[in-house]
Structure 1
Amino acid sequence: MSKIILDRKISLLQATAINMTDMVGIGPFIVLSVVVEKMNGPWFLYAWIAGAFLSFIDAMIWSELGATFPLAGGSYNFLKEGFGPKWGKLMSFLFVWQTMIQAPLVIASAAIGFAQYFTYILPLDEIQRKLVSGSVVILIVLLLYRKIETIGKISVFLWLGVLITMACIIFGGFYHGQFLEPVKHINDGLEVNSAFAAALGFASVKTMYSYLGYYNVCHLGGEIINPEKNIPKSMFISVAGIALLYLFMNISVASVLPLETIIKSPFVVSDYVQALAGPIAATIVTALVLWVAFASVFSATLGYSRIPYAAAKDGAFFSIFAKLHPTKHFPYISLLFLGSVAFVFSLLFRISDVISAILAMRILIQFVGQGIGLLLLSKQKRRNFFKWKMPLFPIPVIVAMVLWICIFYSTTFDMIRLALFIISLGIIAFMVKARYNKEWPFQQV
């Protein structure tokens, strides 16, 4: 096992940039029309507000755990510590087990979305789109194959592109002069009933997909400067900043395009800019959207590559994933493996196939599991143990878990069955591994 350790070289600015570039991927540009369709009315903005609210209170859970356990792997460490020396082994194993499947899905989904928007600039057939998405994954792996301080600088550079893109889209709404119209009519025809609650749940599955990534800094905990302060700060800045950008972007688009047009458009942002400023401007903004999608794949792949490494270094996963590059000091085996699987997924799946699957596979073990783990750890260690403490504990934890369960239910029964199937396979794999190694629950007393 490698004796090389990770370097703490990522600043607050770089950590925030990594989070925000992961959050603002292709997601908001792809799901914008889907959210409007699910809500079927001007109140679609409530789905984006709901996503921001859940992200903010869930970030409190991540902040307590991330500041207290600033190590590579994030949730792997949180679940292991929260559930204790016995059940913590199972929960942390299940998280890594799921990560080896859902992390490449996340990476592939952004690459597939990149290829979809690329067809606005250059029409492509199905095979050509797959070649584009696969090439994006390969290029990302090549860019990440370097020292972490260089990656931090690249992240800030890509983040600037994200901010420029969102600024261009939002400015169009202000320039048009009807920016506040969607807000004025947000409650037109609104009836708060079971139908609205169901629509909000289905739409929130899509908006939460777009918010995912506010916690990416936790997976890089072993490389963050002053993690007790910078990990929580970077998450709250990221959630607040992205929530405003998403709301302004949706308001801008809806102030120009009719809801019927938004629902039917596969390139809604491109069509929005074309309606405002013509095809040349639309092509330029589409290129910026591609920049954002590329930046998201970069950031997500960076964070996920640290999870198998952390588990392997801890002896809970295959030891080969614990290897660090001898001179560049990053987990290159983990990066290459996840990149390879993501490349295959980018050739096999469509964007609509993976969004709900990504959320369904993560909610029970990672998000709900971390909430339970935090409650257990707080009872055992007491509140003074934590390096950062949320206000009104434990109310935010309970609210977050309830909302995650509602999102899980809204992913559809097919996705729920898939998630439970993956968890079941993981439990079987853990038991086989434990029995072979004579570990809990098969260890001899």
Structure 2
Amino acid sequence: MSTPSLQRRLGLVQATALNMIDMVGIGPFVTLPLVMGFMGPNFLLAWLVGAGLALADGLIWSELGAAYPEAGGSYRFLKLAYGEHKWGRLMSFLYVWQTLVQAPLVLASGAIGFAQYFGYLVPLTEWWQPKLVSGAVVLLLIILLYRRIEDIGKLGVFLWIGVLSLMGWLIFGGLTHAHHEVAWLPTGGAAALPGVLLSAAMGQAAVKTIYSYLGYYNVCHLGGEIQNPQKVIPRSIFLSILGIMALYLLLNWSVGTVIPWQEVKALQAGGAGAVADKSQFIVSLFVERLYGPVAAQAATGLVLLVAFASLFAVLLGYSRIPYAAAADGEFLPLFGRLHPTKNFPHVSLLILGGVGFVFSLLFRLGEVISAILAMRILVQFVGQAVGLVLLRRRRGAASLPFRMPLYPLPVVLAVAVWLLIFYSTGPTFMLSGLAVIGAGLVAFLLWSRRLGRWPFER
């Protein structure tokens, strides 16, 4: 009997679909009013900043993903960049360690957001009712993902169609019912841009928009299951970013032309009476204002479909990371097991999904968005960008199947903006991110001592 192995059966359409549904999720629907509250008339600029960072960072992911298309994504990149036997082991271990915490947090954030919008359809008045909904969502995801990768690719395309249908409907509503102007430049024009871009409000808003763009790299986690990865991975990353950027800008413009930012701020402050209860359902309120309550209920149902589709892609991609580390002998062997007939990392899927289920019962949405970013920035995003520079110096760029234009400017830009975003998460979340890194360092030293590996080589 042959040994189970990952199969390369995802093409460009399926890879792009899984990326895009990962990116959309519940993020833009719950962060849209928050960004308006932070930025006022300049809210569109925050979404452009998020897109700019995604494009710069996408160049880093594309170069690494095309050159090293294997399961695990950042785990593999960090190990190769910093040296497979010493510092690369530490960096890749820290990344997997963080994944055991932040992947379930990402899963929980989407499930909690799902429950929040579900409350528009069915009022959830008791404290335990939203937790019941979010927990049930995670359990259903595990059941749906417990199957072969080619079946998942087909299901991903179906869910992608649901994403595009919802966004298209919302954008069409704004285009045909615009009543208010939405500014693309701040008051004072281009001369005022530096002040707005470097403001504290922009930092807080950018944390929310970047959270909503995350996922453009999901295809790299599935590198061992992508057909013709040298071409498909970079193409799927940029098709995803550009497509989602256009959808987000049009969505925000559409909502802003019907529900002006002044009214959104009033809703958040509770200044509109009973309507204030609907401030967290801005998309539902938007559709209700255009087409009535029945259409709003249908739109809310589509939001829930999109949120579920995103979590589907999130858990799929993250379940491959501990598997890749364990298959390398650098993490607990339990995570390296593949299903004997369906050829997917079922133990990793069950553990991450199970922890995500627990987190969905414990935390609130507002607590996890900043924590997710603060936890990931230093090791994954900044560490990976610096690692690309180290790889280029050590191995050269001549053999790379994809090379970013204007190197190293995209790397410098990405690192600078990521560090600003880390600072913008605030002292509490910065410390929580550093605490997870510290705990991971202790775990790495204990693990290495047990195995007799660096820095405890015998």
Normalising by the smaller structure, the TM-score range is: over 0.9
Return 242-251 or 191-200, whichever deviates more: 191-200
Q: 1:248 aligns with which of 225, 235, 250?
A: 250
1:8 equivalent in structure 2: 8
Deviations 1:357-387 (Å, cap 9, x if unpaired)? 0000000000000001000000000111322
SS at match of 1:188: coil
SS at match of 1:384: coil
Superposition pairs of residues 32-431 of structure 1, within 5 angstroms = 32-39=32-39, 41-85=40-84, 86-125=86-125, 126-178=127-179, 181-183=181-183, 186-188=185-187, 191=192, 192-193=194-195, 197-263=199-265, 264=268, 265-431=279-445
Q: Which amino acid aligns with 2:249?
A: L
- Alignment pair present for 1:437 and 2:437: no
Q: Which amino acid aligns with 1:34?
A: L
Work out the CA distance in 1 between the residues paired with 2:20 and 2:109. 17
Work out the CA distance in 1 between the residues paired with 2:259 and 2:369. 25
Deviations 1:373-414 (Å, cap 9, x if unpaired)? 000000000111322100011111111011100010001110
User: Aligned-pair RMSD on alpha carbons?
Assistant: 1.3
Work out the CA distance in 2 between the residues paired with 1:303 and 1:372. 23
Work out the CA distance in 2 between the residues paired with 1:258 and 1:160. 29
Work out the CA distance in 1 between the residues paired with 2:295 and 2:195. 42
From the superposition, tell whether residues 127 and 65 of structure 1 become closer, same or farther in structure 2 (CA, over 3 Å).
same
Work out the CA distance in 2 between the residues paired with 1:196 and 1:124. 40
From the superposition, tell whether residues 200 and 116 of structure 1 become closer, same or farther in structure 2 (CA, over 3 Å).
same
Cα drift, residue 197 of structure 1: 1.9
Structure 1 runs not aligned, ≥5 long? none
Cα pair 2:178 2:258 within 8 Å, conserved: no
Runs of 4+ in 1 over 3 A off after TM superposition: 188-192
Deviations 1:316-364 (Å, cap 9, x if unpaired)? 0000111100111000000000000000000001100000000000000
Q: Which amino acid aligns with 1:217?
A: V
Cα drift, residue 189 of structure 1: 6.6
From the superposition, tell whether residues 196 and 84 of structure 1 become closer, same or farther in structure 2 (CA, over 3 Å).
closer
Work out the CA distance in 1 between the residues paired with 2:59 and 2:394. 19
Q: Which amino acid aligns with 1:72?
A: A
Normalization by structure 1: what TM-score? Answer: 0.97
From the superposition, tell whether residues 257 and 189 of structure 1 become closer, same or farther in structure 2 (CA, over 3 Å).
farther
Deviations 1:127-146 (Å, cap 9, x if unpaired)? 11110000000000000000
Work out the CA distance in 2 between the residues paired with 1:142 and 1:280. 31
Structure 2 runs not aligned, ≥5 long? 269-278
Work out the CA distance in 2 between the residues paired with 1:94 and 1:287. 38
Normalization by structure 2: what TM-score? Answer: 0.94
The percentage of aligned residue pairs carrying the same residue is: 57
